[in-house]
Structure 1
Amino acid sequence: MTHQTADILVIGAGIIGAASAYRLAQRGLKVTVLEKNHPASGSTGKSVAGVRAQFNSATNILLSRESIAEYAAMPESGYRAEGYLMLIPEAGWAAHQKAVALQQSLGIASLALTPEEAQQYTTFNTAGLGGCSFCSTDGKVDAHSLNHEYVRLAREAGARILLDTPVTAIERVGKSWRVTTPSGTFEAPQLLNAAGAWSGEIGALAGLDIPVEPARRMVFSTASIELPKPVPMTFDLASGVYLRSEGERLIFGRADPLDTGWREGMSWSWLEPTLMLALERFPFLESASLDQKASWWGYYELTPDQFPVVGRMPGAPGWLNACGFSGHGVMQAAATGRVMAQLALNETPFIDVSPLSIERFAAQEVRTLDLQV
């Protein structure tokens, strides 16, 4: 087997790994990326590819704000500012108004609306809602195209990206990390774990506890449906249902909190409870029919508090994590790549990611969940 060295090894060529590899190589580091399949073969390629800055924590807002700005300047991203509409139950409206104010203070074009005012974006049943918010610069991207563009940029900057190269063992050798694959071993003083839903398993290979687990998510698709106008991504925070126009179709879904672990395939039993709640809020769905072949499933990479793990690993010199984005990886990848390059070079990140440090779990911090579907 061959033995190769680098300044940093990146495990995973999904959008987080690819964006990080690009920025690391751009800064002059010798970068090798190890990907067990191919770019966008994991969570990136199965996401609904939404991007939003409507969060209630400054760190998430800034990671999304800077990433969306980068995507807007990249034709390959397919970024479309279609907006996100949030429907907030009465019990959560006071807190959400504070979140909107925080977003506005950080330069986000979020607006607080009455349920009646929000009807201009799509029709819905207003029962039980305290208010709504809308941000016109939220929207969607082409996750496949964007992921492959970061791979191209990384290679252009000098990174070596090896596909079909699964990691089978990781050990600390002197001051370096040695990674074993079927095609050889690789060694570097720094290692970036960007393996998405597999990040916990990558950590375990090195004897590290990284609390990231896979969670299966369903995306249901209607057949072609006639609507007065396209529906922006709309979240009903009361029921957990989201929906959005996708061409002439609608896609919709809802998280099943019990659907964790390595389960595969569509969970059609989850359709009925999801559709019942969706019809209560969006009666116009009554005229839609389901297209099973256009529906799909994929994995979220969840942490216990549904905030990502970003930063250095205590007790493991040279080990960096950028994982556990809990459904927000596509929308925050660009800024995360820049942050990881700065951390690898021992610089102060342009966004304070200390709230995302893995140490928070040992300290048993109690935090409010951010806006999550």
Structure 2
Amino acid sequence: MTTASGDVAVIGAGIVGAACAWRLTERGLKVVVLEQGSPGGGSTGKSAAGVRAQFTSATNILLSKHSIEEYASMPEAGYHPGGYLMLVPEAQWPAHQLAIDLQHRLGVPTERLTPDEAQKHAGFLPDGLGGCTFCSTDGSVDAHGLTMAYVNRARQAGARFLLDTQVTRIQRSGEVWQLTTPTGTVEAPLLVNASGAWAGEVGALAGLDIPVHPARRMVFTTGPLKLPRPLPMIFDLASGVWLRSEGERIILGRADPADTGWREGMDWDWLEPTLEAAMTRFPWLETASLDRRASWWGYYELTPDHQPIMGQMPGVDEWLNVCGFSGHGVMQAAASARVIAQEALGETPFIDISPLRYERFSHMQHDVTDIQV
């Protein structure tokens, strides 16, 4: 039984898949979206929802810059330009100064700050830092609100969403993809894999090796704190600790590189090493209480080089990947969707995604990896 058919089948209705659905329908294509749960119910809804254009490569800078500009124009986005403060160790400071120059050339207003100058944004101990960077147009968004805005725009443009619908088999039959689900088959000539942490498993259903795997991440939440001013998103590159204000509270986290795979639930054993690293830089956190009920966990979708996979799957007819964002999905979804719509129509993407295409895994020559968070 054929449940639905269209020009494009999008797998995944997180923020990336929802944005793709809108941009594809906007270009006149008939789109069917398959989502195993609810829109934004996977990694998107568990995101800390930071957005920044402070990257080291032109492709990542532009994906974020254009996405942030789109979010700023959308009332549903809840865009808050609270800024992003990077605390950069001495050894990394020369490379980051080059990155600032590139960001300036691409229209991103990043500031160079000494550790003393950066104290105006937050109190911290400057030990071992070479300098700091701050960008006032970075900040945070409402990831769930954004996703639902894209879903609504896509539906209004004619997209069909099949929710609570898991894809169990994928095969190419003639000129169409056939996607088997528990309720029937969806057919479309073009498939877009926007399934986040599940992207590798979706590829495997079609016999494809897409190197995306899940990694669990914790977000710890403090009780209410009296601070002199709200904190921007702060990332300490020396320890990997990040934190920012969320109302009267602070949310914070730190990636555990060993926490990969489909592990579920809060890892409270990771709290102590996270707080120990955080209080080394931010000793005032010692006065904070922890709200366990307000803390949460979710999945990152990691690739071997922590960069997304975008564009045509080599050697496979009409299969586009837009996955593996490694913590950058929310901040780059808007521009990525525009790129995928252009790719689907055979146009040259408005951002050069050559460094993010699947073909790079044949040699894996990456000397600089853009940081997560």
So what's the TM-score if we normalise by structure 2? 0.99
User: CA offsets, 1:86-141, max 9 Å, x none?
Assistant: 00000000000001111111000100110000000000000000000000000000
Task: List, as ranges, runs of 4+ consecutive aligned residues in structure 1 with deviation greater than 3 Å.
Answer: none
Cα distance in 2, alignment partners of residues 221 and 185 from structure 1: 43
Cα distance in 1, alignment partners of residues 106 and 2 from structure 2: 49
| Counterpart for residue 292 of structure 1 | 292
Question: What SS is found at the alignment partner of 1:33?
Answer: strand
| Counterpart for residue 274 of structure 1 | 274
Instruction: Report the CA distance between 1:183 and its aligned residue.
Output: 1.4
In the alignment, structure 2 segments of 5+ residues that lack a partner are none
Cα distance in 1, alignment partners of residues 119 and 204 from structure 2: 49
Instruction: Report the CA distance between 1:363 and its aligned residue.
Output: 2.3
Instruction: Report the CA distance between 1:315 and its aligned residue.
Output: 1.3
Structure 1 stretch displaced more, 175-184 or 144-153: 175-184
Cα distance in 2, alignment partners of residues 71 and 178 from structure 1: 34
Instruction: Report the CA distance between 1:354 and its aligned residue.
Output: 1.0
Question: What SS is found at the alignment partner of 1:96?
Answer: helix
| Counterpart for residue 259 of structure 2 | 259
Cα distance in 1, alignment partners of residues 2 and 102 from structure 2: 52
Q: Amino acid of the residue matched to residue 262 of structure 1?
A: W
| Counterpart for residue 33 of structure 2 | 33
Cα distance in 1, alignment partners of residues 342 and 366 from structure 2: 28
Preserved CA contact (<8 Å) 2:3 2:183: no
| Counterpart for residue 212 of structure 1 | 212
Q: Amino acid of the residue matched to residue 159 of structure 1?
A: A
| Counterpart for residue 222 of structure 2 | 222
Cα distance in 1, alignment partners of residues 145 and 183 from structure 2: 28
Q: Amino acid of the residue matched to residue 321 of structure 1?
A: N
Q: Amino acid of the residue matched to residue 261 of structure 1?
A: G
| Counterpart for residue 44 of structure 2 | 44
Question: What SS is found at the alignment partner of 1:317?
Answer: coil
Q: Does 1:336 align with 2:336?
A: yes
Q: Amino acid of the residue matched to residue 91 of structure 1?
A: A
| Counterpart for residue 315 of structure 1 | 315
Question: What SS is found at the alignment partner of 1:339?
Answer: helix
| Number of aligned positions between the proteins | 373
| Counterpart for residue 363 of structure 1 | 363
Cα distance in 2, alignment partners of residues 28 and 13 from structure 1: 19
Cα distance in 1, alignment partners of residues 255 and 89 from structure 2: 18
| Counterpart for residue 192 of structure 1 | 192
Cα distance in 1, alignment partners of residues 136 and 252 from structure 2: 20
User: CA offsets, 1:307-353, max 9 Å, x none?
Assistant: 00000001111000000000000000000110000000000001011
Question: What SS is found at the alignment partner of 1:120?
Answer: coil
Preserved CA contact (<8 Å) 2:314 2:359: yes
Cα distance in 2, alignment partners of residues 44 and 372 from structure 1: 15
| Counterpart for residue 103 of structure 2 | 103
| Counterpart for residue 72 of structure 2 | 72
| Counterpart for residue 93 of structure 1 | 93
| Counterpart for residue 175 of structure 1 | 175
Cα distance in 2, alignment partners of residues 263 and 174 from structure 1: 38
Instruction: Report the CA distance between 1:371 and its aligned residue.
Output: 2.3
Preserved CA contact (<8 Å) 1:51 1:140: yes
| Counterpart for residue 60 of structure 1 | 60
User: CA offsets, 1:20-68, max 9 Å, x none?
Assistant: 0000000000100000100111110000001000000100000000000
Question: What SS is found at the alignment partner of 1:137?
Answer: coil
Preserved CA contact (<8 Å) 2:170 2:205: yes
Question: What SS is found at the alignment partner of 1:186?
Answer: strand
Cα distance in 2, alignment partners of residues 47 and 308 from structure 1: 16
User: CA offsets, 1:119-174, max 9 Å, x none?
Assistant: 00000000000000000000000001000000000001111111011100000101
| Counterpart for residue 120 of structure 2 | 120
Preserved CA contact (<8 Å) 1:221 1:290: yes
Instruction: Report the CA distance between 1:3 and its aligned residue.
Output: 4.1
Cα distance in 2, alignment partners of residues 337 and 205 from structure 1: 23
Question: What SS is found at the alignment partner of 1:134?
Answer: strand
Question: What SS is found at the alignment partner of 1:164?
Answer: coil
| Counterpart for residue 139 of structure 2 | 139
Question: What SS is found at the alignment partner of 1:21?
Answer: helix
